[in-house]
């Protein structure tokens, strides 16, 4: 898998760095005559990169759970906002009550 394709898929910089590191390590050790061949038997950069990419995509597709601990905060903020609106309406009613009584009477 080329790094440009991984970038188009939206892989994070951390995962992309790991993928490039795998390829660079395989290329560097692969230059050494006998050691490179032995290293290539056990270390497969392409397979490792495919696993990294698969893991990254699976993590992105996995739904993030809604934290129950934050849900109470939403309800508290909603209640505070509703109380402020009610207080504002009552203050406006008290402020303009004499004006409405003067118009009506």
Summarised one tens digit per residue, pLDDT across range 50-98 is: 899 899 888 888 887 766 667 788 889 899 999 999 999 999 989 888 8
Nearest residue to 1 (alpha-carbon basis) of 41, 59, 48, 50:
50
- What pLDDT was estimated at residue 69? 67
- Give the per-residue pLDDT at 105: 66
pLDDT of amino acid 74: 84
The residues spanned by each domain of the chain are 3-61, 72-105
The closest of 9, 45, 54, 13 to 27, measured between CA atoms, is: 45
| Half-sphere exposure in the Cβ direction for 60 (13 Å, CA) | 11
What is residue 86's predicted lDDT score, i.e. its pLDDT?
A: 94
pLDDT tens digits, one per residue of 33-48: 888 888 888 888 889 9
């Amino acid at each position: 898998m080329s790094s440009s394709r991984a970038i188009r898929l939206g892989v994070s910089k951390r995962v992309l760095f790991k993928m490039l590191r795998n390829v660079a390590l395989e290329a560097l050790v692969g230059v050494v005559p006998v050691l490179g061949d032995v290293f290539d038997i056990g270390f497969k950069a392409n397979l490792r990169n495919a696993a990294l990419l698969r893991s990254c995509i699976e993590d992105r597709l996995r739904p993030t759970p809604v934290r129950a601990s934050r849900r109470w905060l939403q309800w508290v903020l909603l209640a505070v906002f509703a109380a402020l609106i009610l207080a504002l309406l009552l203050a406006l009613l008290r402020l303009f009550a004499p004006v409405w009584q003067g118009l009506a009477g």
